[in-house]
Structure 1
Amino acid sequence: MFPRGLFAVIAAGTLLSSAACSSGEGTPPNPSPTTSPSSDSSSAAQAAAELLAEMSRAEKIGQLFVPMAQGTTAEANADLIADYHPGGLIYFPDSLVDTAQIADMSNGLQELAAAGGAGVPLLLGIDQEQGMVARLPVGAHFPDAMAVGATRDPDAAASLAATTAQELSALGITLDYAPVADVNVDPANPVIGIRSFGAEPELVADMVTAETEAFAENGVASAVKHFPGHGDTSVDSHTGLPEVDVSRQEWEEVHLPPFRRAVDAGADMIMTAHVVVPALDDSGEPATLSPEILDGVLRDELGYDGVVTTDALNMAGVRQRYDDGEIAVRAVLAGADQLLMPPDLPAAHAAVTTAVEEGRISLERLDASVRRILELKLRHGLDDAEPADPDRAAQTVGGAEHRAAAREVAEASVTLLRNSEEALPLEPGAAVSVQGSGKAAIGGELAKLGMEVVAAPAQADVAVVGTSNARGDAEQRALVRNAGREGVPVVVVAQGTPYDITDLPDIDAYVATYSAVEVSRRAAARVLAGEVSPTGRLPVSIPGTDLEFGDGQGYPG
C-alpha cells in the first residue's frame, strides 16, 4: 500500500527479508494481521531504529501529533499532512458517512502520508469503546463496558473487541482508543460510569486484558485509558480538573491493577488522564503533565515502554495553568509520546519545535517517543498493509455474525435486581404499557414476543418504565411514580448506571441493562417476556440499598 517513501524501503528491507528466508521462498508471504512479520518485536525495533536515523527533525516532531481528521475526504487533509507529517489522525462522526466513504478516506489518507517525507503510515484512530462512546455510524453496536462486566465473562469482552477490531480493520482504521481501565468506585462519577467494567479491580483487569489481547489478535492497536485512573472522580475532566483524593495504598489496591495487568499483557498504548492525584504527585499538575506520574510511576515503576498518548488536549482538565503551546511541551517532558487533539495545532507544533531547537526537549527525548511510535506501527504491519476494500467492508461491517455477537453479550448482561411477588417474567399475552427511555425498542420487541402493548398504565396488566440515570432527573422519577398510582405492578428497566433504584423505592421489579443501545433494550424486553433468563450479576455495589457486588436473580426453573 505504501510503495514510496523511506519508511517502505527500510521496513521492507529489514522486516521482510527474515520472513522470506524462513519461508524458503524468494518473495515473502502475504500474512494476516496476526501472523505478519511486522509483529515481531525485535525486527520492528531494528527497522524503527534504521528509519529513525534517516528522518528529519520535522518528520520526527510530526509523529508526536494526532489532530482530528478534517472533512469527509482525504483531500481535505492534504495540507495538514504535508505541513505537519502527523503520526496519526482521529476520526469523529462529522467525517464518517458510510462504509465505502470511510474505507476510501482511510486509503486516501494513507496514500498522502506515503507520498511525503519518510512515507510513514498514519495511525488512524477512533473512540469506539462501544455503548455510549461509539463514533462509527455503521457496524455492530455492543453494550457499554459495565454491561460486559455484568456478564462476568472475559470471553464477552474478547468478543466485543474482536468484532470491533474486524470492523475497524475493514474500514482502514488501525487504532481504537479503548478499553477503559478505570475502576468506577464513585456512583456520582459524571464521565466514566457505565464506560467502566465495574467497581472491583480484578474484574476490570480481567476484562481489560481480554479486550487488549483480542484487539491485537485482530490486527488493531488499542489504547488503555485513563492512567492513573478516572473512576473515583465527581468532576468531568472535559469541563474541569478532577482530583483523586486517595492514599498511595488505596490507589495501588483499587486503581492500579487493571493498568498493571495491561502493561504485563503488552498494551500497545496507554492514555493519560487529566486528573490530579496528590498521592502520586503533590504538585497540583494533572497526570498528563506530571513527570512523576508518567515517567516515574508508569515508565520506571511499572516498566512500561509502549506508546503513551495524552487524552484530548482540548479538554478543560489540562488547560488550567498554561497556554496550548506550553501544554504540548510539558506533556512531552512529562513522558507523553503522542499529543491527541491539540486545540491549536499550529501553536502546539511551533512550541514543541522551539523546545527541541532550544534543547528544552532533548533530541534523545524526541527520538525515544518517535521510536516507540514507529515500533508500534511496524508491529501492527502498517508498513505493508493492504488498502481497505470498500466491498469487503460493506460485507463485514455490521454483518449478521457481528450483530449476533452483540446480541449475545447484551442478553448475558441483563441483571434482575428486584422481583417482588414474581412480577417477572410477564404472563404470555399480558397487556403491557411501555414508557420512558427506550419505549420504542422495548415495546416493539415485547409486541413481537406476543405481548399486547397498550398506551397507558391504566389499560395495562403491568407498567414498564425505562430510565436512564433517573437519580438526577425529576421527570423520569415522576413517570415511575405516576405509573404506580394506577395500581398495577411497575417494572423499571434502568439503562444507565444501576443506581436509579436508590430513588425508586416502591417499584415491583428492577432490571439493569447498563446500556441504552438498541441491542440492550431488546435484550431487556426478551428477559421481561421470559424468552431469556436473566444471568447478569451486579458489577458494582449500590449505596443505600442491600444490593452488593455480585447480586442478581434468575427465574425459577
Structure 2
Amino acid sequence: MRIPVTRALACAGIALTALAATACTTAPQEVDTSPHEEPSPSPSEPPFEPVTAPRLLAEMDLDAKIGQLLVLTAQGTSAADNAAQIEEYLPGGVIYFDANLTGAAQIAEFSNGVQELSGTPLFIGIDQEQGLVVRLPVGTRFPDAMAVGATRDTGLAALRASTTAAELAALGINLNYAPDADVNTDPNNPVIGIRSFGSEPDLVSEMALAEARAYGEQGIVPVVKHFPGHGDTDVDSHTGLPVIDLPRDRWEAEHLPPFRAAVDAGVDAVMTAHVLMPQLDPDEPATLSSAIIGGILRDELGYEGVVTTDALNMEGVRQRHSDGENAVLAIEAGVDQLLMPPDPAAAVAAIKEAVETGRLTEERIDESALRVLSLKEKRGVLDAGPVDPAAAEDAVTDPEHAEAAQRVADASATLLRNTDGVLPLAPGSRVRVEGTNADRLAAALTEAGLDVVTGDADAVVTGTNTAPVARSTAPTIAVSQGGPYPLASSPDVDGFVAVYSAVDVSLAAAARVITGEVRPTGTLPVAVPDTDADFGTGLSY
C-alpha cells in the first residue's frame, strides 16, 4: 500500500528545498428559498502556503514534472487498465467518463486502484456539472445550472454543489470540472445554454462562487470554466472553433465579471475555452493565447491558481497546430494542466524538446508542477487514504440527497403564462400528455394526483425542449425542459412552466406546480427575446 506522501517524506527526512510557491392535501407549499448552509461570505480563502509540494518537486526529474501537467483519459473500468499509461507518463491526474463507470463500489475500487499505482497521488476528475452534463451512472441528479439561477438562492447553489461533492468524495473523486461561469447571452448557444446560471453577470458570479466554495469546503477541487467566456457562441467547440468578435469593453462588462470574481475569491482552478476572440487575440484560441491567459488572466487579473485547458481532443483547438505543438503553446500561454491530450506521447516529446532547445525553461515547468502539487496538498489529496466501497454505495443513495435535489427543482419552477387562471389544475383533472419526455412527465403528473388519459381531457400538458407548442382543443400547458425560449414561439398555449432541465426532479417540480402542490417562485434568469418576459419575470398563485 502506498504511504501518504507527507508521511513518506517525513520518514525519509528529506530537507526543505527553497522553492517559492507560485501560486456548484392541498394548499400549495411555499418553496423554502431561505439560505441553506451557504458558505462563508468572505471574499477569498486565506493564502495557502505549501510545505510538502516543494519537497516533492525537488525530488522529481523532468519526466515526473512534465507528468504532473498531464490529465489523461481513464482507460477501461479498472485500475489494471490504466497501469501502462500511469507507468509511462506519470500523470498528474486522470478524468473519468461514462464508459469507465458502472456502479458505486466499482468506482470507489477504481479510484483506490489508480491511486495505488501512482507514485504521486492523482487528481481524479470528472465532469459532474449536474443536469445535462453528468458522467456518474449513480448518485443524485440535480437540475441544470439555469434552474439554480431561477431560484436566486445562493444557498441552493451551495446545496447542489455540497451534495454532489459529498458523493464524489465517497467515490474517491477529488476534482470536478464545475461550476460553469459562462454568461449565456446567446439564446441559440449550442454548447452552454442551460449549463449556465443565466444571462446576467452578477447572477452568474454569485451562483458560481457559491458552488465553488461549497466544493472546496468538501475537499473537492472546483474548476471554474470556461475563461474568457463561452456564453456568446453559436458554434460548439467540440466540433469547430467558435469566434466571439466582441469589443473588449463589452466582453469586460458581460462575460468577464464571473471570472474576475472567481480570481478575487482565490478559486482553486480555472479552465480555458477553445474560442477565438479577435479583439483580445486575433491569432490563437484562448487556450493557446499568451495575450489572454498570460496577459489577462495571470497578469491583469492576478490569478495565481491552477489553469487547465479544456479537453485538447476537441476540434476547436486542433485546427491550426499539431497535438504536440498545442501542448507547448498552452504552457507558453500560462496553462498548468493539459486535459486529455489526444496523443500523450506527442505532447511529452514536444514539451521535452521545447525544454532542450530553450523554448521552454525547466523553471517554467517547475512553476506549473508546483501549482498542481500545491493544490493537491491544499485539498488533502497528498494525504488521502483509500475510500470505502460500501460507504460509497450509502453516499450515492442517501435519501436526504434526493430531497435536496427536489428542493432545488421546486424552487426553480417558473410560471410564465397563466391565461384565465388555468393553473393550478383541480385534483383528479383528466390530462393528456404529449411532447418531450411525455412518458416521464405523465408519471410525474400521476404521482401529483392527476388522471392521465389518452383521449378527451380537461387539459393537455406538452413537454418541449426547443420546439414551439401549439394549443390543443383543450387548455394547453407547456412544460419547457430546456431554456425558456419556446415561450416566444408558443403564443397560443394557456399555461407555460419553465423548469430548465429534464431530470426527474424537474419534471416532478413541473407536475407539483401544475397541480398546485407547490407555489411557483422561480424567476427568469434570462430574458426571452420577442416577448415581454424579461430577466426576473415570474408569476405565482
Could you tell me the TM-score, scaled by structure 2's length? 0.92
Report the counterpart of residue 26 of structure 1 in structure 2: none
**1:7–1:51 Cα contact (<8 Å) kept:** no
Report the counterpart of residue 400 of structure 1 in structure 2: 399
Query: Quick one: which amino acid aligns to residue 172 of structure 1?
Result: G
Report the counterpart of residue 517 of structure 1 in structure 2: 503
Report the counterpart of residue 460 of structure 2 in structure 1: 463
Structure 1 residues 42 and 447: alpha-carbon distance in aligned structure 2, compared to 1, 3 A threshold = closer
Helix, strand or coil for the counterpart of 2:73? coil
Shift in Å, 1:11: 10
* Distance (whole Å) between structure 2 residues aligned to residue 254 and residue 549 of structure 1: 15
Report the counterpart of residue 47 of structure 1 in structure 2: 52
Could you tell me the TM-score, scaled by structure 1's length? 0.90
Helix, strand or coil for the counterpart of 2:488? helix
Superposed, 1:235-274 pairs within 5 Å as 235-274=235-274
Structure 1 residues 4 and 258: alpha-carbon distance in aligned structure 2, compared to 1, 3 A threshold = closer
Q: Deviations over 1:293-348 (max 9, x none)?
A: 00100000111010000000011110111111111111111111000011112212
Runs of 4+ in 1 over 3 A off after TM superposition: 4-8, 10-15, 39-43
Query: Quick one: which amino acid aligns to residue 455 of structure 1?
Result: T
Shift in Å, 1:2: 3.5
* Distance (whole Å) between structure 2 residues aligned to residue 447 and residue 184 of structure 1: 34
Report the counterpart of residue 318 of structure 2 in structure 1: 319
Structure 1 residues 164 and 433: alpha-carbon distance in aligned structure 2, compared to 1, 3 A threshold = same
Alignment partner of 1:500 is 2:497: no
* Distance (whole Å) between structure 1 residues aligned to residue 66 and residue 166 of structure 2: 31
* Distance (whole Å) between structure 1 residues aligned to residue 523 and residue 88 of structure 2: 52
Alignment partner of 1:107 is 2:107: no
Superposed, 1:256-295 pairs within 5 Å as 256-282=256-282, 284-295=283-294
Query: Quick one: which amino acid aligns to residue 465 of structure 1?
Result: T
Structure 1 residues 519 and 12: alpha-carbon distance in aligned structure 2, compared to 1, 3 A threshold = farther
Superposed, 1:90-489 pairs within 5 Å as 90-113=95-118, 119-282=119-282, 284-456=283-455, 459-470=456-467, 477=468, 480-481=469-470, 484-485=471-472, 487-489=473-475
Alignment partner of 1:532 is 2:529: no
**2:243–2:277 Cα contact (<8 Å) kept:** yes
Helix, strand or coil for the counterpart of 2:159? helix
Q: Which moved more, 1:77-86 or 1:437-446?
A: 437-446
Query: Quick one: which amino acid aligns to residue 297 of structure 1?
Result: I
* Distance (whole Å) between structure 2 residues aligned to residue 147 and residue 4 of structure 1: 40
Query: Quick one: which amino acid aligns to residue 348 of structure 2?
Result: H
Q: Deviations over 1:65-117 (max 9, x none)?
A: 1111000000100010000000100000000000000000000000000xxxx
* Distance (whole Å) between structure 2 residues aligned to residue 383 and residue 230 of structure 1: 33
**1:7–1:383 Cα contact (<8 Å) kept:** no
Helix, strand or coil for the counterpart of 1:166? helix
Query: Quick one: which amino acid aligns to residue 380 of structure 2?
Result: G
Helix, strand or coil for the counterpart of 1:129? coil
Alignment partner of 1:64 is 2:69: yes
Shift in Å, 1:42: 4.6
Query: Quick one: which amino acid aligns to residue 505 of structure 1?
Result: P
Query: Quick one: which amino acid aligns to residue 238 of structure 1?
Result: H
Alignment partner of 1:75 is 2:80: yes
Report the counterpart of residue 20 of structure 1 in structure 2: none
Report the counterpart of residue 21 of structure 2 in structure 1: none
* Distance (whole Å) between structure 2 residues aligned to residue 372 and residue 538 of structure 1: 39
Report the counterpart of residue 27 of structure 1 in structure 2: none
Helix, strand or coil for the counterpart of 1:67? strand
Query: Quick one: which amino acid aligns to residue 497 of structure 1?
Result: G
Query: Quick one: which amino acid aligns to residue 127 of structure 1?
Result: D
Shift in Å, 1:6: 8.4
Structure 1 residues 14 and 549: alpha-carbon distance in aligned structure 2, compared to 1, 3 A threshold = farther
Aligned length: 513
Query: Quick one: which amino acid aligns to residue 387 of structure 1?
Result: P
Shift in Å, 1:244: 1.4
* Distance (whole Å) between structure 2 residues aligned to residue 87 and residue 440 of structure 1: 44
* Distance (whole Å) between structure 1 residues aligned to residue 13 and residue 169 of structure 2: 25
Superposed, 1:14-33 pairs within 5 Å as none
Shift in Å, 1:120: 1.2
* Distance (whole Å) between structure 2 residues aligned to residue 173 and residue 188 of structure 1: 33
Report the counterpart of residue 24 of structure 1 in structure 2: none
* Distance (whole Å) between structure 2 residues aligned to residue 342 and residue 388 of structure 1: 28
Partner of residue 541 from structure 1, selected from 515, 520, 527:
527
Shift in Å, 1:292: 0.5
Structure 1 residues 12 and 453: alpha-carbon distance in aligned structure 2, compared to 1, 3 A threshold = farther
Helix, strand or coil for the counterpart of 1:520? helix
Structure 1 residues 7 and 52: alpha-carbon distance in aligned structure 2, compared to 1, 3 A threshold = farther
Shift in Å, 1:432: 0.4
Q: Deviations over 1:230-269 (max 9, x none)?
A: 0011111111111111111111111111011111111111
* Distance (whole Å) between structure 2 residues aligned to residue 443 and residue 168 of structure 1: 32
**1:245–1:278 Cα contact (<8 Å) kept:** yes
Helix, strand or coil for the counterpart of 1:432? strand
* Distance (whole Å) between structure 1 residues aligned to residue 306 and residue 526 of structure 2: 31
Helix, strand or coil for the counterpart of 2:525? coil
- Structure with the larger helix share: 1
Percent of aligned positions that are identical: 58
* Distance (whole Å) between structure 1 residues aligned to residue 11 and residue 185 of structure 2: 45
* Distance (whole Å) between structure 1 residues aligned to residue 341 and residue 223 of structure 2: 18
* Distance (whole Å) between structure 2 residues aligned to residue 537 and residue 299 of structure 1: 36
Shift in Å, 1:124: 0.1
Report the counterpart of residue 27 of structure 2 in structure 1: none
Helix, strand or coil for the counterpart of 1:133? coil
Query: Quick one: which amino acid aligns to residue 323 of structure 1?
Result: S
Unaligned 5+ runs, structure 2: 16-39
* Distance (whole Å) between structure 2 residues aligned to residue 70 and residue 467 of structure 1: 37
Query: Quick one: which amino acid aligns to residue 465 of structure 2?
Result: S
* Distance (whole Å) between structure 2 residues aligned to residue 153 and residue 490 of structure 1: 30
**1:274–1:317 Cα contact (<8 Å) kept:** yes
**2:4–2:385 Cα contact (<8 Å) kept:** no
Helix, strand or coil for the counterpart of 1:395? helix
Structure 1 residues 157 and 52: alpha-carbon distance in aligned structure 2, compared to 1, 3 A threshold = same
* Distance (whole Å) between structure 2 residues aligned to residue 11 and residue 537 of structure 1: 57
